[in-house]
Amino acid sequence: MLGFVLRRLAGAIPTIFIVVTIAFFMIRAAPGGPFDLERPLDPLIMQNLNAAFHLDEPLWRQYLLYLGNLLQGDFGPSFTRRDFSVADLFAVGLPVSVTLGGLALSLALVVGASLGVLAALRQNKGADYAVVGIATFGITIPNFVVAPILSLLFGVWMGWLPAGGWGTPAHMVLPVVTLALPQIAIIARLTRGATIEALRSNHVRTARAYGLPTRVVVVTHTLRAAILPVVSYLGPAAAALLTGSVVVETIFGIPGIGRYFVQGALARDYTLVMGTVVVIAIFVVIFNLLVDLAYALLDPRVRYER
Amino acid sequence: MIKTMLKASALSLALAASLGVTGAPAFAQEVVYNRGNDTDPSSLDPHKTSTVAEAHVLRDLFEGLVVYNAAAEVIPGVAESWETSEDGLVYTFRLREDARWSNGDPVTASDFVFAFRRIQDPATAAGYANILHPIKNAEAINSGEMPKEELGARAIDERTLEITLANPTPYFIELLTHQTGLPLNQASVEEHGDAFTRPGNLVSNGAFMLDSFTPNDRIVMRKNPNFHDAENVQIDVVNFIPFEERATCVRRFEAGEVQSCSDLPSEQITELRERLGDQVRIAPYLGTYYLPVKVTKEKFADPRVREAMSMAIDRVFLADEIWQGTMVPAYSLVPPGINNYVEDAPTLEYADVDILDREDRAIALLEEAGVAAGELTVDLRYNTSENNKNTMTAVGEMLRNIGIESTLTEMEGATYFNYLKEDGDFDIARAGWIGDYNDPQNFLFLYESDNLGFNYPRWANEDYDRLMQQAETETDLAARAEILAEAERLFLSQVPAIPILYYTSKALVSPKLEGWEDNIMNVHGTRFLSLSN
């Protein structure tokens, strides 16, 4: 098992390297630079700034410089937030995004899976139709609609929760719900489908034939098989949620790292964009690995020993 | 598994229920002002800043020689008085005795000298060093031709600062209200280097001092007990909260979580006015929105063509319909209400002519210039924004009324301004300018022929340049105003850029927040505000 994990992590290094390379040259290909503002700078000052940030060197050398720094764990200084390094920004933003994404994911898993199982057990009855209906609704309504509506409803009109901001647990409720809603919908649908299939499988029929109580049949024998597609979905979903959502963070005014990707790209803050790309790439690699490991635990057919 | 699921959801419900309690403010005795701002500052080092949002933050943290009061009038700050020499070149400032840094040290003349030298030092790479170029030798130091010790600023003693200018600059005192004129605590900057702006390191001399800075969340400042006017500062804590999404600020304002917003979502203006009444503040602002025309292209070389296009643009429609009254129709480059200018400032002579008559005159002008209807096609270029797009679309329709066809080209912000600056191949573009200081020179310098950064059309007019030169050395304010007005009249007759709108400042101000006076500079120092319950 350990050997498998190590092999996978080693295999991730070229992937991340390629991602970094492509991202580096793509953001540099965009016209303009971090110091091109509506009010242009004096050429002399521009020169001083470019020198300070090594922007006056040939691109290949900047690339090697960046790679070298990255290998030492140095994301470099931010071009547009000059009181902070990219690492400083992540040190503040990443825990926020991970908290938000983690809570949303947990909520989505609990609610989505429960609804999915419920729907499967009542297949083609009212409850099933309701769950499928709500799920479709949840998937189709985008975050940027849900977020302001929740904020208006619970923050402004009813005044139960803060309309935005970050700091206390109360501040987390609306953004977590907003982020979780589409995930609840997706997880509910996945669970429902997989549970229905599992309920029809041979081992469940056998368990029933033994006269085991429904609860045992569902919990012990059905769910374990039914949860597999959800687990494979959770890998990339977790990577996306934990690295922050631009929309939710902007609308609720949350200091996570999701906003940095867009802010960085628009302001041509090269190091900030690269930093977010690297962090997202690492999360994707890690969560795909976790999914594979979870498979080994859940599915007796999958074994990673040599 | 279902059991644990139920437990988990019960837990989350209980959690949610308990939150209502913890959400309440904990310190009732402290007056906390949550102040919406446009964005985070790119730095708290005044020398690395340039924007209005940054100025709001720095105005509370630091105090310059002079400051703006609530009505944006210049009042003494660290300087209690000053004298000007006969020739207008030497300013001698007497610093107040009780000016203190947040660590208790006195604010001395050498703190100003240190800051003024640092901003001109090429190594600082200060983007706005040019604001202080009127100081003697500043420009030479900034371009690395002279050591920074040669700067025309010296400390005669702890409390006497002498500044020598290269040319008499009648707006010099006004200039010193800008964040480039703020002092720095030499000891702390030298001790911490680039990290001097960090919470815990930053020593400031304004009404407030830095407590914490969480990017994208808030900057927390506390009242500075060492501030000379601390007894009149009513607010204990200011939280500057950045709102890139203006609608978010509106929601938090309506929920009572912030007491002011620094901008409004323009698409909601009408509705906001109905709902929030006089909490919506829209005030004239020192800024102009104009359309540079690439005069170096043959099709725009004839000033009559440019004038015809300018005539055909219905500014009232743009201001009222497109911008919902958040812009004011403009007929000049220098916005009204500016200091140091003539009584009857120059305007386009057809300002008061009915738009239909103007169209007829424009068509006649085009004919005179030999441009037949449908012969001229112009490309209207703008940077991404709903309002810019709507404005340019409407301008295109207006030009069609006089037989000029148009196409639209949109570019994303960073690319756009780089393109304009680099002599991009545009026909007609859009640009805006918000004055840094309250003087017409700050608008008219945009079209000096050697101002390659802003003179997007590359308009070069010797008479204009000569007038601007002349204004620079004229010490008599009234005579100088006449020269500047002459320059603007020339500009308006040639219209290398078509002024179409004046900006307004837009804000939401809670009735609980007292002392917020609308003013043309849009400055609202927190020390002049108070909060009631």
Nearest alpha-carbon partner for A205 in A187, A184, A226, A221:
A221
Question: B125 and A52 in contact by Cβ < 8 A?
Answer: yes
Whole-angstrom Cα distance, residue B408 to residue B429? 10
Strand-pair partners of B381: B409
Residues B227 and B300 occupy one common structural domain:
no
Whole-angstrom Cα distance, residue B143 to residue A65? 28
- For the entire predicted model, the pTM comes to 0.86
Q: Give the number of other CB atoms < 10 A from CB of residue B349.
A: 13
Residues B240 and B293 occupy one common structural domain:
no
Question: B257 and A162 in contact by Cβ < 8 A?
Answer: yes
- Examine residue A200 and state whether it is found in any structural domain, yes or no: yes
Q: How does residue B15 score in pLDDT terms, banded at 50, 70 and 90? A: very low
- ipTM comes to 0.87
Residues B89 and B170 occupy one common structural domain:
yes
Mean pLDDT for B91-102 is 96
Write the DSSP symbol of residue A156: I
Q: How does residue B28 score in pLDDT terms, banded at 50, 70 and 90? A: low
Residues B481 and B523 occupy one common structural domain:
no
> Which pLDDT belongs to residue B45?
95
Which residues in chain A have Cβ-Cβ distances shorter than 8 Å to B244?
Answer: 250, 259, 263
Residues B472 and B350 occupy one common structural domain:
yes
Which residues in chain B have Cβ-Cβ distances shorter than 8 Å to A160?
Answer: 20
Number of residues that make up chain A: 306
Residue of B23, B143, B214 lying closest to A255 (CB–CB):
B214
Look at A201-210, B17-26, B190-199, B493-502 and tell me which has the smallest mean pLDDT.
Answer: B17-26
Mutate to test the interface with B, among A37, A53, A80, A83 (most CBs of B within 10 A): A83
pLDDT(B304) > 70: yes
The residue of chain A with its CA nearest to that of B434 is A39
Measured in angstroms, the CA of A37 and the nearest CA of chain B are apart by 6
Residues B352 and B464 occupy one common structural domain:
yes
Measured in angstroms, the CA of B356 and the nearest CA of chain A are apart by 35
Look at A66-75, A219-228, B19-28 and tell me which has the smallest mean pLDDT.
Answer: B19-28
- Examine residue B268 and state whether it is found in any structural domain, yes or no: no
| CATH label of the domain that carries residue A291 | 1.10.3720.10
> Which pLDDT belongs to residue B1?
35
Residues B317 and B465 occupy one common structural domain:
yes
User: Over pLDDT 70: what percentage of chain A?
Assistant: 97
Residues B477 and B518 occupy one common structural domain:
no
Residues B188 and B244 occupy one common structural domain:
yes
Mean pLDDT for A43-64 is 83
Q: Is B21 exposed, middle or buried (0-12, 13-18, 19+ CB in 10 A)?
A: exposed
Tokens 């999404």 locate to B245
Q: Give the number of other CB atoms < 10 A from CB of residue A154.
A: 18
The residue of chain B with its CA nearest to that of A47 is B125
Residues B499 and B514 occupy one common structural domain:
no
Structural domain of residue B347, as residue ranges?
A: 286-504
Which residues in chain A have Cβ-Cβ distances shorter than 8 Å to B252?
Answer: 155, 162-165, 253
Q: How does residue A131 score in pLDDT terms, banded at 50, 70 and 90? A: confident
> Which pLDDT belongs to residue B530?
95
Residue of A80, A164, A219 lying closest to B2 (CB–CB):
A219
Query: CB–CB of B261/B280 below 8 Å?
Result: no
For residue range A10-44, list pLDDT tens digits in order.
888 898 899 999 999 998 888 878 887 666 677 77
| CATH label of the domain that carries residue B187 | 3.40.190.10
The residue of chain B with its CA nearest to that of A156 is B255
Query: CB–CB of B244/B39 below 8 Å?
Result: yes
Nearest alpha-carbon partner for A49 in B178, B451, B42:
B42
Measured in angstroms, the CA of A251 and the nearest CA of chain B are apart by 6
Question: B15 and A110 in contact by Cβ < 8 A?
Answer: no
Question: B453 and A41 in contact by Cβ < 8 A?
Answer: yes
For residue range B336-362, list pLDDT tens digits in order.
999 899 999 999 999 999 999 999 999
- Examine residue A259 and state whether it is found in any structural domain, yes or no: yes
Look at A24-38, B11-25, B32-46, B393-407 and tell me which has the smallest mean pLDDT.
Answer: B11-25
For residue range B437-463, list pLDDT tens digits in order.
899 999 999 999 988 888 999 999 999
- Number of domains making up chain A: 1
- Examine residue B5 and state whether it is found in any structural domain, yes or no: no
Cα three-residue angle B67-B70-B73, rounded to 5 degrees:
55
Mean pLDDT for B10-18 is 40
Residues B230 and B206 occupy one common structural domain:
yes
- Examine residue B180 and state whether it is found in any structural domain, yes or no: yes
Whole-angstrom Cα distance, residue B530 to residue B34? 12
- Examine residue A42 and state whether it is found in any structural domain, yes or no: no
- Examine residue A80 and state whether it is found in any structural domain, yes or no: no
The residue of chain B with its CA nearest to that of A103 is B12
Question: A165 and B254 in contact by Cβ < 8 A?
Answer: no
Residue of B44, B125, B214 lying closest to A45 (CB–CB):
B125
Which residues in chain B have Cβ-Cβ distances shorter than 8 Å to A99?
Answer: none
- Examine residue B21 and state whether it is found in any structural domain, yes or no: no
- Examine residue B347 and state whether it is found in any structural domain, yes or no: yes
Start-to-end CA span in chain A (Å): 9
- Examine residue B407 and state whether it is found in any structural domain, yes or no: yes
Question: A160 and B20 in contact by Cβ < 8 A?
Answer: yes
For residue range B367-401, list pLDDT tens digits in order.
999 998 889 999 999 998 888 999 999 999 999 99
Q: How does residue B10 score in pLDDT terms, banded at 50, 70 and 90? A: very low
> Which pLDDT belongs to residue B164?
97
| CATH label of the domain that carries residue B396 | 3.10.105.10
CA distances from A122 to A132, A135, A191, A199, B465 (A): 12, 16, 13, 12, 83
The residues, any chain, with a CB within 8 Å of residue B223's CB and separated by 6 or more, are B207, B208, B209, B230, B233, B235, B236, B237
The residues, any chain, with a CB within 8 Å of residue B356's CB and separated by 6 or more, are none
pLDDT(B330) > 90: yes
- Number of domains making up chain B: 2
Residues B475 and B524 occupy one common structural domain:
no
Structural domain of residue A172, as residue ranges?
A: 86-302
**Identity of the residue numbered B114:** F
H-run or E-run covering A86: helix A86-121
